[in-house]
Amino acid sequence: MRIGMGYDVHRLVEGRKLIVGGVEIPHTLGLLGHSDADVLLHAISDALLGAAGLGDIGKHFPDTDPKYAGADSLKLLAEVGTMIQEKGYLVDNIDATIIAQKPKFRPYIEEMEENVARALEISPEQVNIKATTEEGLGFTGTEEGIAAQAVCMLSGIYESSMAVGGGCSGCSGCAGR
């Protein structure tokens, strides 16, 4: 079992769409970034990559590479899902928090959870997303930016076949029986 955490922040600016959790949210400001700047999906991607020992999204999708300009972060998250599967891990769960004064995210949370689950080919019940304000404090409270945090737990595909505690317990199909 492996645990990962991710954090991301993007500045709010005029002239950009606000995309969070793969959902375009009506707002006067959007997030500035090389890709679509989806702060939530970037935090989730970093948590997953970290848990699998694969670095971070900057390592795999650098903002210096023109091919990621305007990239859809749901597609990047799906690629992260493939990477962790290829390394032999399965997603147990994801828990994430969006930190923003405005807009209100509650109406969009279920769709965000479904988007994450679909991109990673897991059940929506394995994804929990929350949103909070910072009561007017800090850069999120003054609406200069939006932050997101995420934690995840991964299990190794072969963990259930590992002997724990030394010895055969006589399970059916076991050669030591």
Helix or strand run (H / E) with residue 119: helix 109-120
Q: Which residues are annotated as a binding site?
A: 8-10, 34-35, 42, 56-58, 61-65, 132-135, 139
Q: Which two tokens stand for residue 174?
A: 């076991």
CA distance 17 to 26: 8
Q: Which residues are annotated as a binding site for a divalent metal cation?
A: 8, 10, 42
In the block, residue with structure tokens 């999708």: 61
CA distance 38 to 146: 10
